[in-house]
Amino acid sequence: MAKGYGGVRGDSEDDGRAAYTALLRGGVSGFNALLGGGRELGGKYARVEEHGFYWTATEYDMEHAWFYNFGRGASLLNRHSGGDKSMALAVRCINAS
């Protein structure tokens, strides 16, 4: 999905800024990502209104999965492989049709 709006940091010319803008709340994609932060391993929530973390459907290994990070400070979209599955990140169901 991010690729359709310009890609993420590292695979786009603008480091994921176009995808960040398109996928964020009010963007042209209709995805409407919110910057809700996430739960740290100790149970405390952090980075609310600074980052939006969203799981992908792709596992990295048994304990980790890929996730997207919408970072407000840099206004870019990044993809990470090492998301510990015990972190509480957002989930959004997408109809691919």
The answer to the question of residue 51 being in a domain is yes
pLDDT at 93: 78
Positive/negative CA dihedral, 53, 85, 93, 38: negative
**Per DSSP, what are the bridge partners of residue 83?**
65
Structural domain count of the chain: 1
pLDDT in tens, 7-16: 999 888 888 9
CA distances from 19 to 8, 12, 14, 45, 61 (A): 7, 9, 9, 25, 26
The answer to the question of residue 47 being in a domain is yes
Asked if pLDDT for residue 1 goes beyond 80, the answer is yes
The answer to the question of residue 36 being in a domain is yes
Compute how many other C-beta atoms are within 10 angstroms of the C-beta atom of residue 37.
Answer: 18
The answer to the question of residue 13 being in a domain is yes
Domain that holds residue 14: 3-84
Closest by alpha carbon to 65, among 45, 78, 80? Answer: 80
The answer to the question of residue 97 being in a domain is no
Considering only residues 24 and 94, tell me which one the structure prediction assigns the higher pLDDT. Answer: 24
CA 46 to chain centre: 15
- Sequence-separated contacts (24+) of 42-50 with Cβ below 8 Å: 45/88
pLDDT in tens, 29-85: 999 999 999 888 788 889 999 999 999 989 999 999 999 999 998 899 999 998 988
CA distance 22 to 49: 17
Asked if pLDDT for residue 97 goes beyond 80, the answer is no
pLDDT at 39: 87
The answer to the question of residue 41 being in a domain is yes
